[in-house]
Amino acid sequence: MRIGELAELAGTTTRALRYYEAQGLLPARRGANGHREYDQSDLRLVSEIRSLTGIGFALEETRPFLDCLRTGHPTGDSCPASVAVYRRKLAELDELIGRMSAVRERLRDQLALAELPFTTPVCPTSAGSDLDHGDNAEDPDR
């Protein structure tokens, strides 16, 4: 199949496919006419890339999964290198969740403080205070 067909079947763009090719993730086979040629195994690779990037994997992180498929495994996560990527990604997410939980707690604390009833502070020099007895009423510094 040609690049346009692969893009349509995989739900992506020809530009993305060319980028995957440039990154070494998709093979660059050319026919006698110079056009790129793809087969069902290439569709499977692109589907794997899109599936993994769709759940947050960086493009480079898909490489072990693609290598696993290329060696004939039925799924891209059947190989130890793919499992290692899963473990690493889960550790990253656990760390991020921990940091985000700490931020959430700080935000809750700030919100609780912000929602406390506001009381106007009493100023000792305000009208009616004990300090103003009328003495020295002509003193402009008072």
The domain locations on the chain are 3-114
What per-residue confidence (pLDDT) applies to 134?
52
Each residue of 49-88: pLDDT tens digit?
Answer: 999 999 999 999 999 999 999 999 999 999 999 999 999 9
What per-residue confidence (pLDDT) applies to 21?
96
pLDDT at 97 over 70: yes
For domain 3-114, the CATH architecture is: Orthogonal Bundle (1.10)
pLDDT at 46 over 70: yes
Return the higher-pLDDT residue of 129 and 95: 95
What per-residue confidence (pLDDT) applies to 44?
97
pTM above 0.95, yes or no: no
3-state secondary structure of 51: helix
